[in-house]
Amino acid sequence: MNLRDEINSIKSIISPIVEEHYPSKANHEKMSLYDLITFGIITHKHFSGVYKRAYMVLIDDLKLFPKVRYNKVVERLNRYEVLLMECIQLLFKLDGLMIVDSKPIETKRLSRVGRHNKIGGSYMINEEESVGFNTLKGGST
Protein backbone atom coordinates (compact mmCIF):
# COMPACT_ATOMS: atom_id res chain seq x y z
CA MET A 1 0.00 0.00 0.00
CA ASN A 2 1.49 3.36 -0.98
CA LEU A 3 1.22 6.52 1.08
CA ARG A 4 -1.66 8.04 -0.94
CA ASP A 5 -3.84 4.98 -0.32
CA GLU A 6 -2.87 4.95 3.33
CA ILE A 7 -3.72 8.65 3.68
CA ASN A 8 -7.14 8.11 2.09
CA SER A 9 -7.90 5.12 4.32
CA ILE A 10 -6.87 7.01 7.46
CA LYS A 11 -9.06 9.98 6.44
CA SER A 12 -12.06 7.69 5.99
CA ILE A 13 -11.51 6.06 9.39
CA ILE A 14 -11.04 9.27 11.38
CA SER A 15 -13.74 11.31 9.63
CA PRO A 16 -16.50 10.62 12.22
CA ILE A 17 -14.26 11.74 15.10
CA VAL A 18 -12.98 14.83 13.31
CA GLU A 19 -16.50 15.89 12.28
CA GLU A 20 -17.50 16.16 15.95
CA HIS A 21 -14.60 18.50 16.77
CA TYR A 22 -14.38 20.38 13.46
CA PRO A 23 -14.62 24.11 14.21
CA SER A 24 -16.46 26.39 11.82
CA LYS A 25 -13.43 28.65 11.24
CA ALA A 26 -11.21 25.74 10.22
CA ASN A 27 -12.60 26.00 6.68
CA HIS A 28 -10.48 29.11 6.18
CA GLU A 29 -7.22 27.20 6.68
CA LYS A 30 -5.17 26.04 3.71
CA MET A 31 -4.63 22.59 5.25
CA SER A 32 -7.92 21.11 6.43
CA LEU A 33 -8.27 19.52 9.84
CA TYR A 34 -8.61 16.10 8.18
CA ASP A 35 -5.26 16.61 6.44
CA LEU A 36 -3.67 17.91 9.64
CA ILE A 37 -4.75 14.95 11.78
CA THR A 38 -3.80 12.53 9.00
CA PHE A 39 -0.37 14.19 8.81
CA GLY A 40 0.03 13.73 12.57
CA ILE A 41 -0.96 10.06 12.39
CA ILE A 42 1.38 9.33 9.47
CA THR A 43 4.14 11.14 11.38
CA HIS A 44 3.69 8.91 14.41
CA LYS A 45 3.42 5.78 12.32
CA HIS A 46 6.31 6.21 9.87
CA PHE A 47 8.56 8.93 11.33
CA SER A 48 8.53 8.08 15.07
CA GLY A 49 6.62 11.25 15.86
CA VAL A 50 9.25 13.67 14.53
CA TYR A 51 7.27 16.41 12.79
CA LYS A 52 10.20 18.15 11.10
CA ARG A 53 11.35 15.04 9.25
CA ALA A 54 7.78 14.16 8.23
CA TYR A 55 7.21 17.73 7.05
CA MET A 56 10.29 17.63 4.84
CA VAL A 57 9.33 14.29 3.29
CA LEU A 58 5.53 14.47 3.04
CA ILE A 59 4.97 18.16 2.30
CA ASP A 60 8.20 19.44 0.74
CA ASP A 61 9.38 16.40 -1.23
CA LEU A 62 6.33 14.23 -2.01
CA LYS A 63 3.75 17.08 -1.92
CA LEU A 64 1.07 14.81 -0.43
CA PHE A 65 -0.39 17.65 1.69
CA PRO A 66 -0.92 21.34 0.95
CA LYS A 67 2.16 23.54 1.36
CA VAL A 68 1.93 25.28 4.74
CA ARG A 69 4.70 26.75 6.87
CA TYR A 70 6.20 24.29 9.36
CA ASN A 71 5.50 26.51 12.37
CA LYS A 72 1.83 26.78 11.38
CA VAL A 73 1.52 22.99 11.14
CA VAL A 74 3.12 22.49 14.57
CA GLU A 75 0.99 25.20 16.20
CA ARG A 76 -2.21 23.65 14.84
CA LEU A 77 -1.10 20.14 15.84
CA ASN A 78 -0.48 21.41 19.36
CA ARG A 79 -3.91 23.07 19.37
CA TYR A 80 -5.63 19.83 18.34
CA GLU A 81 -3.36 17.53 20.33
CA VAL A 82 -6.23 15.86 22.22
CA LEU A 83 -8.06 15.12 18.97
CA LEU A 84 -4.85 13.73 17.44
CA MET A 85 -4.26 11.42 20.41
CA GLU A 86 -7.88 10.26 20.30
CA CYS A 87 -7.55 9.35 16.61
CA ILE A 88 -4.21 7.60 17.14
CA GLN A 89 -5.67 5.55 19.98
CA LEU A 90 -8.64 4.63 17.79
CA LEU A 91 -6.38 3.46 14.94
CA PHE A 92 -3.54 1.79 16.80
CA LYS A 93 -4.93 1.12 20.30
CA LEU A 94 -1.90 2.84 21.84
CA ASP A 95 -1.93 4.27 25.36
CA GLY A 96 0.56 6.68 26.89
CA LEU A 97 1.82 7.98 23.54
CA MET A 98 3.85 11.19 23.74
CA ILE A 99 4.64 13.76 21.08
CA VAL A 100 8.38 13.85 20.47
CA ASP A 101 9.14 17.30 19.04
CA SER A 102 6.27 19.70 19.07
CA LYS A 103 8.19 22.97 19.26
CA PRO A 104 8.18 25.40 16.37
CA ILE A 105 11.59 26.06 14.85
CA GLU A 106 13.36 29.40 15.24
CA THR A 107 12.14 32.13 12.97
CA LYS A 108 14.42 34.41 10.99
CA ARG A 109 14.46 37.01 13.74
CA LEU A 110 15.85 34.54 16.27
CA SER A 111 18.39 33.06 13.90
CA ARG A 112 19.70 36.53 13.04
CA VAL A 113 20.44 37.16 16.70
CA GLY A 114 22.76 34.17 16.81
CA ARG A 115 24.35 34.84 13.43
CA HIS A 116 25.17 38.53 13.79
CA ASN A 117 25.34 38.73 17.60
CA LYS A 118 22.74 41.48 17.59
CA ILE A 119 19.96 41.58 20.09
CA GLY A 120 17.59 44.04 18.50
CA GLY A 121 20.17 46.84 18.41
CA SER A 122 19.87 49.54 15.81
CA TYR A 123 22.15 52.30 14.59
CA MET A 124 19.18 54.54 13.82
CA ILE A 125 17.28 54.21 17.09
CA ASN A 126 18.87 55.62 20.24
CA GLU A 127 17.87 54.54 23.72
CA GLU A 128 18.21 58.09 25.12
CA GLU A 129 15.38 60.58 25.07
CA SER A 130 15.63 63.60 22.84
CA VAL A 131 14.81 67.01 24.19
CA GLY A 132 13.44 69.61 21.84
CA PHE A 133 12.73 68.49 18.29
CA ASN A 134 11.15 65.08 17.81
CA THR A 135 11.78 63.56 14.38
CA LEU A 136 8.41 61.77 14.35
CA LYS A 137 5.31 63.35 12.82
CA GLY A 138 4.29 64.91 16.13
CA GLY A 139 6.74 67.83 15.80
CA SER A 140 8.44 68.95 19.00
CA THR A 141 8.16 67.76 22.58
Which residues are 133's β-sheet partners?
140
Residue 59: the pLDDT is 95
Q: Tens digit of pLDDT for each residue in 51-90?
A: 899 999 999 999 999 999 998 998 888 888 888 888 888 8
Q: What is the DSSP letter of 85?
A: H
Confidence of residue 135 (pLDDT cuts 50, 70, 90): low
In the chain, domain spans: 3-113
Q: What is the per-residue burial (b if ≥16 Cβ within 10 Å, else e) of 54-73?
A: bbebbbeeeebbeebeeeeb
Residue 42: the pLDDT is 93
Percent of the chain with pLDDT over 90: 28
